[in-house]
Structure formats: C-alpha cells, structure tokens
Amino acid sequence: MRAKAKAVASDIEQAARVLRAGGLVALPTETVYGLGANAEDPAAVARIFQVKGRPPSHPLIVHIAAADQLDDWVEEVPQAARLLAERFWPGPLTLVLRRGRRVPLEATGGLETVAVRVPDHPVALALLSAFGGGVTAPSANRFGSVSPTTADHVRAELGDGVDFVLEGGSCPVGVESTIVDVTGETPSILRPGGVTREDLEALLGHPVAVPSASGVRVPGQHPSHYAPRARVVLVEPDEILAEAELAQEAGHQVGVFLPPHLADAAVKARAVVAVPGSLSSYARGLYGFLRELDQQGCDLIVASLPAEEGLGLAIANRLRRAAGPRSSA
C-alpha cells in the first residue's frame, strides 16, 4: 500500500481511538516523529520504553494541545515559564516544571518534575485536540539511534512495535526541542534544540546557561546517542579531506559531511553529503544525512562541527553525541 502524504481526518480519529485503548501512535511534530501514548496510562507509557529499548529511568515529554492547558499538568507555573510558553508555544521548546498529580511517575522516570510542550505541527495538534489529553512521546526510534524525520524512518525502525503511524511529511525543524528547566531560580538549558539560546536570552533579558560542550576530539562526556551504525569522527574543517582520504585508504567505507566552503573539492570517499549553507536546512537534513550514509554502506563518517551559534548549538550537540563512545561496539 502506498503511504499517504498527510494524515486525513479519519486517520486522526483512528489514532485518537488507539491512544484511548492504550496503544502507541507515531506522530509527526515539527522537530522529529514521536512515539506517543496516553500520558495518564502507566501501562501504555511502559510500552513506549519497551518498544524503544529505552531505560525506564529516562523521562518523557508530555505533549499538550495548547498553552492554556499547562496548569493542568504541573504543580505551579513560575513567571518565566509563563513568558516562555506564551512566546514559543506552539513550538520546539520543552519546559521542565514540577510534576502535577495526574502525571504518572512512569512518564517522568520517577522524577518529581515533568517536561511539557505544545508541538507546532498541524497533525500533532489535530491528534492532541481529538484525543483531549496529554500524549507522552519520545522520539520514535530505538534508544540511542538516529531520530526519525519521516514516517518511513519510523516504520523502518520500529515496524510492528507501533499500532498506528500518522503521516505528516518531513519534519520542518529536524532536531529535537530545546529543553529548559524552569524549576530553579533562573532558567537553564538542559538540551539545545529548535529554539535558540539567543532567542531565549532576548526574551528573558539575561544569559541562559547551557550544558558545557567539550572539545572536538574528547567525546568522553558524550555517551553515544543520535548515532548511525557508522562510527562518526569529528575533525576540524580543514582536516576533513585528509582524514577522509586516510581512512578510505586504510580500508574504511567513508562517508563525508562536506562543508559548503569545500563544495567543489575532490573527495576520496564512498559517499558524500553536501552540508547546506543555512543552519536551518542543515538541522532539517541532519538525521536524514546520517541515515543516508548508513544506507550507502559507510562504516565511518567524517564531519566537523558548525559554529555553536543559533541552531549550530543543537547541530553540534547531536554530532558530538553521535560521535560519542559506543557501549556495545
């Protein structure tokens, strides 16, 4: 059967029924595809962890239909959270707040805080409205691997583990949401993502802390996540061609992330991805590029980090973690 380009009203209704019955629905959001369950159904939430192979101590994000529902899910909403929600929802921003009673501990990995966001995607919003409750949804991939940005990625990765897949085309942002902890005195970024640090700071009027980033060749603090099958090696931009050639001559099947300033260079490699000049295009394509190089049979990917400004911060974070040490390799 040919996949539909976009979910229609009857698909939304069916997906809402699946959620009510305790099933799992893959849904498109503007960031990546999520694997959704009724947030208030502990057994359904437990199935998410099982299907993803994700440790149950890793908390999930509760997706809601509108900012005015936030108070239903959390204990209290500090002023900064209210401001951020008003400005950035619907959108790729997740707020961590004190857990409201209706959120089961299964969804928060046992934490007394809960992560909440309103996604900016017509299909996700239609599902949330039709369903009426909150939907916990991590990215719809196996734990540790590359996040899906198309419905085909979801089907390829999770297959029968999902009860229903809603079609929504390619995800327009392409990297996950920015997670901001608003439980402390000042908001801090737990994970960089689709809303930039600069945009947060402009609204709040003060600097916002981000998790520290280490240098290019010390991946130790970045256990593997968002990772393709191929090993990812990060080098300085002017070392890319030499590193690729060396690895290819050493017998590797090399995939290269070729930055725009090297677009015309001759590369010795099995496959090459042209990194887009704009950060938003790069973010949108990032996970697809990693999957593509896997599919082309590469066992090693050579890339460099973009400047960590704007969306470059999130892209660099994902590349570092894709290059992190593998526990099982």
Q: Name the binder of 305 from ligand AMP, Mg ion, none, CB < 5-8 A by kind.
A: none
Cβ atoms 308, 316 nearer than 8 A:
yes
Amino acid at 260: P
Residue 178's binding partner, choosing from ligand AMP, Mg ion, none, with beta-carbon cut-off 5 to 8 A by kind?
none
Q: Which residues contact 154 (CB under 8 A, 6 or more apart)?
A: 26, 33, 35, 140, 141, 148, 162, 165
Residue 317, interface with Mg ion (CB under 5 A)? no
Give yes or no for residue 67 binding ligand AMP (CB under 6 A): no
Closest to 93 (Cα-Cα) out of 128, 69, 117: 117
- Distance in Å, CB of 246 to ligand AMP, minimum: 34
The size of the interface with ligand AMP (CB under 6 A), counted in residues, is 16
How far apart are the C-alpha atoms of 231 and 226, rounded to whole Å?
12
- Kindly state whether residue 135 participates in binding ligand AMP, applying the rule CB under 6 A: no
The residue number whose beta carbon is nearest to Mg ion equals 139
Backbone conformation region of residue 303, classed left if phi is above 0, alpha if psi is from -120 to 50, else beta? beta
Burial of 238 (0-12, 13-18, 19+ CB in 10 A): exposed
Q: Is 163 helix (H, G, I), strand (E, B) or coil?
A: coil
Cβ 328 to Mg ion shortest distance, Å:
17
Residue 108 touching ligand AMP (CB under 6 A): yes
Binds 96: which of ligand AMP, Mg ion, none (CB < 5-8 Å by kind): ligand AMP
Instruction: Report the alpha-carbon distance of residue 147 to residue 226 in Å, rounded.
Output: 6
Of these, 108, 139, 149, 224, which contacts Mg ion (CB under 5 A)? Answer: 139
**Binder of ligand AMP out of 46, 83, 105, 111 (CB under 6 A):** 111
Size of the site for Mg ion (CB under 5 A): 1
**Token code pair at residue 70:** 């936030």
Site for ligand AMP contains 59 (CB under 6 A): yes
Q: How far is the CB of 54 from ligand AMP (least distance, A)?
A: 8
In order, the DSSP letters of 45-64 are: HHHHHHHHT--TTS--EEE-
Closer residue to Mg ion in complex, CB, 113/139? 139
Q: Does 138 bind ligand AMP (CB under 6 A)?
A: yes
Residues at the site binding Mg ion, with contacts judged by CB under 5 A: 139
Residues at the site binding ligand AMP, with contacts judged by CB under 6 A: 58-61, 96, 108, 111, 113-115, 138-139, 176, 179, 190-191
